[in-house]
Amino acid sequence: MTVSTPITQDVLTIPRKLPDGPMNLVGLTRAQMRDVLIEHGTPEKQAKMRVGQIWQWIYEKGVRDFAVMSNLAKTYRAELAEHFVIEVPEVVSKQVSLDGTRKYLMRIAGGHEVETVYIPEEDRGTLCISSQVGCTLTCSFCHTGTQKLVRNLTTAEIIGQVLVARDDLGEWPEPGAPKNETRLLSNIVLMGMGEPLYNFDNVRDAMKIAMDPEGISLSRRRITLSTSGVVPEIAKTAQEIGCQLAISFHATTDEVRDKLVPINKKWNIMELLDALRTYPKVSNSERITFEYVMLKDVNDTDADARRLVKLIKGIPAKINLIPFNEWPGSPYERSDWSRIEAFADIIYKAGYASPIRTPRGEDIMAACGQLKSATERARKSKKAIEAEAGL
């Protein structure tokens, strides 16, 4: 018997501070960092300046050791080291695809693991980061959705993925290096494991850190958040993050979308589209990306393409067609190439950009929707075995 996972936001978020342990400074907003510094003895008058200095060491220079922070007094550095740490997720393994895509398996508190993928392209380098361990949603074509164990990532674990990737890419500038060189890590997409809008506060704070001009300094136009359609959080995303938005649309009737993206039963296509109409204006972004996974004989007819165009009329949009990426035991097949092209053609002729996403890192299971850590897989199958045995 299979147990369906309920649609819920009630997933665990671990506390930032372990009892009696040093506190991690990574993932704190500037205001939070100021508060904890004052709490631990930094004079209030100096706190803002100290935050600025520490912030630059962590996010601009990639430093993890207080001892190196040469513009702080030695005694102050020692005090910091007594109360705080600068901690990022631990890399358990790294795989590099034939096409240069890198997949990192990272271990976080509690022994959980998440995956992060770096995709180099000619004009950019995109880091695909995770927002949850697993996902409470159960989209039927997505490997992550079959993983039962779920917890929200903390802000530190979300931004930590960026810091770890920069370590691996060796992208911490030498003092005095020009700022405008082409970056290896130039874009972030929240398209890894998890539904980012079910972990809103932590995702928002992490992206604010990524955008901070005195640190990682990525423009909000270079950050894309992908959601399956958590309607009430979409307006908040526009107001509080202001990044680019991608929607996992995937079907043109409620009947089909209910099956593919079950959150549709909660907020259907019309409610979703209504929420999207105001997004570009409020967030001052140009276009919303509609993601559409191409599943053979499920959602890939000419009629689907025409309905899609009709539905999104009036919304500044681009449609990203994603050839389905298979995973062990997946219940669908990828649409034929000629079908995908015919579908793309209808959309293009209706006046929308309709790029077909080239699957990247397929040989290392790093493509969209294939992420699911081996450990969690093993854990689940052991549980399943136990359940079958009546344990």
If contact means CB under 5 to 8 A according to the sort of partner, which of ligand SF4, ligand SAH, none does residue 152 touch?
none
Q: Whole-angstrom Cα distance, residue 341 to residue 131?
A: 32
187: β partners: 126
Long-range contacts of 176-183 (CB under 8 A, 24+ apart): 183/125
If contact means CB under 5 to 8 A according to the sort of partner, which of ligand SAH, ligand SF4, none does residue 291 touch?
ligand SAH
Q: Can you give the binding site for ligand SF4, defined by CB under 6 A?
A: 135, 137-139, 142, 144-145, 194-195, 228, 248
Q: CB 115 → ligand SF4: shortest distance, Å?
A: 12
The HSE-up count of residue 85 (CA atoms within 13 Å, CB side) is 12
Does the annotation mark 341 as catalytic?
no
Q: Whole-angstrom Cα distance, residue 68 to residue 57?
A: 9
Residue nearest to ligand SAH (CB): 369
Q: Whole-angstrom Cα distance, residue 198 to residue 240?
A: 15
Residue nearest to ligand SF4 (CB): 145
What is the DSSP code (8-state) at residue 175? T
If contact means CB under 5 to 8 A according to the sort of partner, which of ligand SF4, ligand SAH, none does residue 191 touch?
ligand SAH
Based on CB atoms, which residue is closest to ligand SAH, 262 or 369?
Answer: 369
Based on CB atoms, which residue is closest to ligand SAH, 309 or 322?
Answer: 322
Region for 2 from its dihedrals, namely left if φ exceeds 0, alpha if ψ lies in -120 to 50, beta otherwise: beta
Instruction: Report whether 25 contacts 84 (CB < 8 A).
Output: yes
Q: CB 10 → ligand SF4: shortest distance, Å?
A: 16
φ/ψ of 302, rounded to 5, equals -60, -40
Q: Give me the catalytic one of 157, 326, 368, 376.
A: 368
Q: CB 230 → ligand SF4: shortest distance, Å?
A: 9
Based on CB atoms, which residue is closest to ligand SF4, 87 or 157?
Answer: 157
Q: Whole-angstrom Cα distance, residue 190 to residue 205?
A: 13
Does the annotation mark 135 as catalytic?
no
If contact means CB under 5 to 8 A according to the sort of partner, which of ligand SAH, ligand SF4, none does residue 317 touch?
none
Q: Whole-angstrom Cα distance, residue 117 to residue 94?
A: 10
Q: Whole-angstrom Cα distance, residue 261 to residue 27?
A: 31
Based on CB atoms, which residue is closest to ligand SF4, 60 or 326?
Answer: 326
If contact means CB under 5 to 8 A according to the sort of partner, which of ligand SF4, ligand SAH, none does residue 42 touch?
none
Q: Whole-angstrom Cα distance, residue 25 to residue 329?
A: 41
Q: CB 197 → ligand SAH: shortest distance, Å?
A: 8
Q: Can you give the binding site for ligand SAH, defined by CB under 6 A?
A: 139, 141-142, 191, 195, 226-228, 248, 291, 293, 322, 324-325, 368-369
What's the chain's length in residues?
Answer: 391
Q: CB 272 → ligand SAH: shortest distance, Å?
A: 12
Q: Give me the catalytic one of 60, 115, 157, 195.
A: 115
Which residues are identified as catalytic?
115, 368
